[in-house]
Amino acid sequence: MKRGKFWAWLTFALGAAYFIIPLLATMEFAMRMRRGTYSFDAFAVVFGDPRFQATFMYSVVAAIFTILLGVLIVVPTAYWIRLRMPQIRPVIEFITLLPLVIPAIVIVFGYIRMYGSNSPLPFLGSARGTDALLVIGYATLALPYMYRAVDTGLRTIDVRTLTEAAQILGAGWTRIITRVILPNVLIAVLSGAFLTFAIVIGEFTIASLLNRPAFGPYLQNIGANRAYEPAALAVITFVITWGCMTVIQLLARFAPKSANRPN
């Protein structure tokens, strides 16, 4: 027991070192900008850069649309499957896992070839259309996470019973979805939303290949041309990711606990 505890502490300490040292080093590097002293100059430069503000805002908006699209596609589907079509669940689950197997670069390559300006669906023919395709690509990337989060949420609340109870009380479909199901899976949807946000905000491959002015390509550009700003940007991105994960954890505390099932 004593010996085991020693090894456990050692493993933990090694892991902690591997994960914390790069963060400290990055912070230190970002603060080296002014010669001879530590300063937050790099952060000031980054925040003051209009391109930072523009690309970051662009990615935030893209993330919001991605979340909306993801919710629109995933929530009704997951609900309908739990309620009426459990037999096709394996198919749906398989499809939602595909983006983990097919690399993003392959998916976007397919988009570029299929939806070019001369194709029947010329998404790439206009800037708005390309924005839409970017959001669609992001929704595909986030699909596995969104689906899992929502499905888990639906499982704990037992949608079938809730729906039947609402129907017996005379509720119509709109009312059932907006008043019964959504409030109960809201937490799960929000968890999925923040995870989506974390994935999408700094995404590089799709945005770059679609030539969108997003945060990811901006990061890459700064990385290729500047010395200290990239480190500052890495710190900022880490803080954003951390924030998203913290929100998800906080949300989990408010998630409805399984009420009418023993496990």
Partner 1 sequence: MTTDITRIEPGAVVRPGNPPARRRTARMPTHWLGVAPFFLFAIMFLILPTGYLVVGAFQNPQGGLTLANIAALWEPTIRAAYWISIKVSFASAVLGALAGLAIAIAIVRGGLPGWVRGATLTFSGVASNFAGIPLAFAFLATLGRLGLVTILLKDVFGFNLYATGFNILSFWGLTLTYLYFQIPLMVVIITPAFDGLKKEWGEAAATLGATQWQYWRMVVIPVLWPSFLGTVILLFANAFGAIATAYALTGSSLNIVPILLYAQIRGDVLHNPHLGYAIAFGMIFITGMANVFYIWFRTRSERWLK
Residue 103 CA, chain-centre distance (Å), reads 16
Residue 246 CA, chain-centre distance (Å), reads 13
199: tokens are 């994935």
Q: Please give the residues from 44 up to 73 whose contact with partner 1 meets the rule CB under 8 A.
A: 72-73
Does the protein bind partner 1 through residue 9 (CB under 8 A)? Answer: yes
User: What is the C-alpha to C-alpha distance for residues 78 and 91, in angstroms, rounded to an integer?
Assistant: 12
Nearer to partner 1, 192 or 216 (CB): 216
User: What is the C-alpha to C-alpha distance for residues 182 and 40, in angstroms, rounded to an integer?
Assistant: 44
Nearer to partner 1, 137 or 153 (CB): 137
Does the protein bind partner 1 through residue 263 (CB under 8 A)? Answer: yes
Does the protein bind partner 1 through residue 15 (CB under 8 A)? Answer: yes
Among the listed ranges 23-31, 33-41, 50-58, 180-188, the one in contact with partner 1 (CB under 8 A) is 23-31
Among 37, 87, 118, 174, binds partner 1 (CB under 8 A): 87
Among 195, 214, 251, 255, binds partner 1 (CB under 8 A): 195
Does the protein bind partner 1 through residue 183 (CB under 8 A)? Answer: no
Min dist. Cβ of residue 22 to partner 1 (A) = 4
Does the protein bind partner 1 through residue 88 (CB under 8 A)? Answer: yes
How many other C-beta atoms lie within 10 A of the C-beta of residue 219? 23
Cβ–Cβ < 8 Å for 138, 62:
yes
Cβ–Cβ < 8 Å for 63, 138:
yes
| 150: amino acid identity, one letter | V
Among 63, 71, 136, 142, binds partner 1 (CB under 8 A): 136
**Burial class of residue 54 (count of CB atoms within 10 Å of its CB; 0-12, 13-18, 19+):** middle
Does the protein bind partner 1 through residue 219 (CB under 8 A)? Answer: yes
Min dist. Cβ of residue 176 to partner 1 (A) = 11
Among 51, 53, 76, 250, binds partner 1 (CB under 8 A): 76
* In the block, residue with structure tokens 């030539």: 211
Does the protein bind partner 1 through residue 35 (CB under 8 A)? Answer: no
User: What is the C-alpha to C-alpha distance for residues 174 and 12, in angstroms, rounded to an integer?
Assistant: 51
User: What is the C-alpha to C-alpha distance for residues 173 and 192, in angstroms, rounded to an integer?
Assistant: 24
Does the protein bind partner 1 through residue 250 (CB under 8 A)? Answer: no
Min dist. Cβ of residue 61 to partner 1 (A) = 19
Among 57, 95, 127, 259, binds partner 1 (CB under 8 A): 95
